[in-house]
Amino acid sequence: QVQLVESGGGLVQAGGSLRLSCAASGRTFSRYAMAWFRQAPGQEREFVAANSWSGGRTIYADSVKGRFTIARDNTKNTIDLQKNSLKPEDTAVYYCAAALVGPSQYRMEYEYWGQGTQVTVSS
């Protein structure tokens, strides 16, 4: 089992920045590819960014490329998402997830999920 706990959500104005963090416990964190997904009200959960187990390979959704940065620290068992130039359409609950394969943009490949943290971007 891997337990994931997100933090860092909140309310921010458009154009601002926010940093989310996900702390992992349980099995060896460094074995897992990690990702961030988000879900806006009435919409399906969508991929945001993912990072390989070593951190050497990273993929992003087109909608966040150039604005968001995913980074992991295997010594601290954390995966962060730095979000810059935020837009109202970035408003969603953000989830971190872990998978033994990856990085992948496909939700079904992720075995473990956190509870989510709300991010609201005001215009």
Q: What pLDDT score was predicted for residue 56?
A: 87
- Mean pLDDT computed over 32-36: 96
Residue labelled with tokens 């920045």: 17
Q: If you compute the radius of gyration of the chain from its CA atoms, what whole number of angstroms results?
A: 13
Q: What pLDDT score was predicted for residue 61?
A: 98
CA distance 43 to 38: 10
Higher pLDDT, 101 or 82: 82
| Per-residue pLDDT tens over the stretch 40-68 | 999 999 999 999 988 889 999 999 999 99
Report percent pLDDT > 90 for the chain.
Answer: 88
DSSP string computed for 61-112: -TTTTTTEEEEEETTTTEEEEEE-S--GGG-EEEEEEEESS-S-S-GGG--E
